[in-house]
Amino acid sequence: MYGHTWNANTDGDFSCERSDIKAVCGDFPAILGLDLGELELGGERNLDGNLFTYIRDAAVKHYERGGLVSLSWHPRNPMTGGDAWDTTPGTVATILPGGANHDKFMGWLDAVADYISTFKDAGGNPIPLMFRPWHEHDAGWFWWGVKGPSTPEEYNALWVMTWRYLREERGLDNLVWVISPNETGQFDTWTSAYPGDEYVDVVGFDCYEFIGPEESFEVANERYVANIRRCLEFQTEFCKEHSKVLALTETGFEGIPCPDWWSSALLKAVEGFPISYVLTWRNASDRPGHFYGPFEGCACADDFTENFYKSGKTLFLKDLK
Ligand code: BMA
């Protein structure tokens, strides 16, 4: 839909043939991550300026090529009208049954269900979608977070209410439900803010690399690798016990300043774990420093292709047309 220096929403080329990843290594990524944020407001575009009609077209095209589609949702705060990052305490309580904003929020879920119901292949069949709402809930930055804005009990009730409405009321059986706390490593919070096996299919977590002002890439990479491996060890066991599929649901190093990040950080971090997929975050066309994937001419392109794409340990999506 868009990449580091181009955006179909503004240049009008809706062919879905362009991809920063494909331009670098020759294949599309296997996972396409999309976000429903602001669908609930009823406008034409999501919070990042992507047309909802185009989001759907891109999802269907990607699925028809053989890829997997992941949908996250950064909805506005239903109590204050602020954005997803408005952590005013008590928000979740107001949208649960009996709460002041319950009806309003159910209208938002209705909008999501109406929209998702239109994601169909050429034969008119609903396409499978990995649905990953209420993510990074153990961190402090979203209104559905369980540290301050809500509690684990409220979080679980929100998840189950969302699941029941979409699955049972609206009959959406093409959603694969993905839960992804953040890499806080507070595993007791991960297990208490977990709605139950019946409502979850894939279990993962989100984890990013950060670097201090005086730090070397070596030190930052080492911390990132250790963090991911510690969390993957926990989630691997959790998935075994609960019969769930494991994934690294979001990761990256903003601006990828380390030229061999793909081989010296990401590959090392995930090697040996039975993960089903890794999703790196977006290459924003309107924020030059906000990218997480390689693009033609970027400093990490060679490492990505030679040591990650060609490592024999990764799978991408061939364009078979
Ligand atoms: C965040 C950033 C934001 C974006 C949001 C939803 O992590 O990339 O710029 O609005 O994801 O895509």
Query: Does the model's pTM come out above 0.85?
Result: yes
Ligand 1 contact via 252 beta carbon (within 6 Å): no
CB contact at 8 A, 254 and 261: no
Tokens matching residue 259: 């030229």
Ligand 1 contact via 47 beta carbon (within 6 Å): yes
How far from 314 is each of 19, 47, 137, 225, CA to CA, in Å? 18, 31, 29, 17
CB contact at 8 A, 39 and 27: no
Residue 2 is predicted with a pLDDT of: 97
Ligand 1 contact via 74 beta carbon (within 6 Å): yes
Query: CA-to-CA distance for 119 and 71, rounded, in angstroms?
Result: 12
For residue 294, count other CB atoms closer than 10 A to its CB: 27
The rounded Cα 60 to chain-centroid distance in angstroms is 17
Tokens matching residue 184: 């806080």
Q: Which atom of ligand 1 is nearest to the CA of 290?
A: 8
Query: CA-to-CA distance for 275 and 279, rounded, in angstroms?
Result: 11
Ligand 1 contact via 33 beta carbon (within 6 Å): no
Residue 320 is predicted with a pLDDT of: 79
Tell me which of 40, 279, 282, 287 to substitute to probe ligand 1's pocket, judged by most ligand atoms within 8 Å of the beta carbon: 282
Query: CA-to-CA distance for 208 and 269, rounded, in angstroms?
Result: 11
Tell me which of 35, 283, 291 to substitute to probe ligand 1's pocket, judged by most ligand atoms within 8 Å of the beta carbon: 35
Residue 51 is predicted with a pLDDT of: 98
Core vs surface per residue 176-207: b (16+ CB within 10 A) or e: bbbbbbbbbebbebbeebbbeeebbebbbbbb
Q: Which atom of ligand 1 is nearest to the CA of 47?
A: 10
Q: Please list the rounded mean pLDDT of every run of 10 residues in the chain (321 residues).
A: 97 96 98 98 97 98 97 98 97 98 98 98 97 96 94 98 98 98 94 98 98 97 98 98 98 98 98 98 98 98 98 93 71
Residue 230 is predicted with a pLDDT of: 98
Please give the distance, rounded to the nearest whole angstrom, from the Cα atom of residue 48 to the centre of ligand 1: 7
Residue 185 is predicted with a pLDDT of: 84
Phi first, then psi, for residue 99 (nearest 5°) are -80, 160
Query: CA-to-CA distance for 269 and 251, rounded, in angstroms?
Result: 11
Phi first, then psi, for residue 183 (nearest 5°) are -80, 35
Query: CA-to-CA distance for 33 and 56, rounded, in angstroms?
Result: 12
Ligand 1 contact via 282 beta carbon (within 6 Å): yes
